[in-house]
């Protein structure tokens, strides 16, 4: 008895079990599409698990701390509470209960738990717009941040697809404008100085 029927890739009809053991291509009985199926041995094992009417928890078995009617699947590796599959949260390859994850998120003691992620695109955008008067520091810094962190994971909170590109574009324009301003000031100063001679 197979757990899940294997379907034809074309017509989505179930394929006969005997044809699944063929090592070469075989046609579907309904649509005649040639196909080859490689099965994992576990696919042909019968489905195991609770039978209808069977209690989820047997007398004397450990239960989940948060759900009295669910069988314990693991123990929290921080506090030792028994938790079911619903409550078990894997962090850094270890089972944790919801209370320990919440505590670890607020105290920062679970290094594998990402509770905050810096939004480098907005840092670069802030530097380039706020620092208009200090362009010689902020524009190169915004370009550095934009270039270095352009491939970092995106924000967990909002989509900021164009912010990094906008920040880097504004930084380049700011640098070009600043260089133009410096060249213009030097040129005007040189023109004024040549008239006074």
pLDDT tens-digit readout, 47-81: 555 444 334 667 778 888 998 888 888 899 888 89
68 and 30 within one domain: no
Q: In angstroms, rounded to a whole number, what is the distance separating the alpha carbons of residues 35 and 8?
A: 8
Q: Which residue has the tokens 């929290």?
A: 76
| Structural domain ending residue among the three candidates 96, 116, 136 | 116
Does 170 have pLDDT greater than 80?
A: yes
Same domain for 112 and 139, yes or no, is no
If asked whether residues 128 and 191 sit together in one domain, one would say yes
Alpha helices per DSSP H over the chain:
17-20, 98-107, 120-130, 135-148, 163-196
Q: Which residues contact 56 (CB under 8 A, 6 or more apart)?
A: 50, 69, 70, 71
Does 3 have pLDDT greater than 50? no
Count CB-CB contacts under 10 A for residue 139. Answer: 25
Question: Is 107 a member of any domain?
Answer: yes
- pLDDT class for 98, splitting at 50, 70, 90? very high
Please give the residue that has the higher pLDDT: either 35 or 21.
35
Same domain, 132 and 168: yes
pTM: 0.35
Asked if 100 and 124 sit in the same domain, the reply is: no
Q: Is residue 74 part of a domain?
A: yes
Residue 22: Cβ-neighbour burial (10 angstroms; 0-12, 13-18, 19+): exposed
Q: Which residue has the higher pLDDT, 196 or 85?
A: 85
The answer to the question of residue 185 being in a domain is yes
Query: In angstroms, rounded to a whole number, what is the distance separating the alpha carbons of residues 76 and 5?
Result: 37
* Residues spanned by the domain of 4: 1-47
Q: Which of 3-12, 49-58, 81-90, 158-167 shows the lowest mean pLDDT across its residues?
A: 49-58
Residues 133 and 109 in one domain: no
pLDDT score of 40: 58
Do 23 and 72 sit in the same domain of this protein? Answer: no
166 and 144 part of one domain: yes
DSSP state of 189: H
Please report, rounded to a whole number, the percentage of residues in the chain having pLDDT higher than 90.
5
The pLDDT value given to residue 146: 83
Could you tell me if 137 and 190 lie in one domain? yes
Strand partners of residue 89: 96
Q: Are residues 104 and 127 in the same domain?
A: no
Residue 53 included in any domain: no
Q: What is the mean pLDDT of the chain?
A: 77
Residue 56 covered by a domain: no
């Amino acid at each position: 008895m197979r757990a899940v029927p294997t379907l034809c890739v074309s017509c989505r009809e179930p394929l006969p079990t005997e044809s699944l053991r063929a090592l070469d291509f075989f046609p579907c009985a309904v649509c005649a599409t040639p196909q080859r199926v490689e099965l994992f041995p576990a696919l042909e094992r019968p489905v195991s698990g609770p039978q209808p009417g069977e209690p989820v928890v047997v007398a004397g078995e450990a239960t989940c701390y948060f759900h009295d009617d669910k069988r314990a699947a693991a123990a929290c590796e921080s506090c030792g509470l028994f938790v079911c599959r619903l409550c078990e949260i894997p962090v850094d390859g270890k089972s944790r209960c919801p209370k320990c994850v919440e505590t670890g998120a607020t105290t920062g003691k679970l290094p594998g738990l990402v509770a905050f992620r810096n939004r480098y695109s907005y840092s670069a955008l802030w530097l380039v717009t706020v620092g208009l008067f200090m362009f010689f520091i902020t524009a190169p810094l915004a370009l550095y941040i934009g270039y270095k962190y352009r491939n970092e994971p995106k924000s967990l909170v909002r989509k900021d697809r164009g912010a990094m590109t906008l920040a880097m574009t504004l930084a380049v324009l700011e640098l070009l404008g600043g260089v133009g301003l410096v060249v213009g000031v030097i040129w005007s100063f040189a023109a004024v100085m040549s008239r006074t001679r």
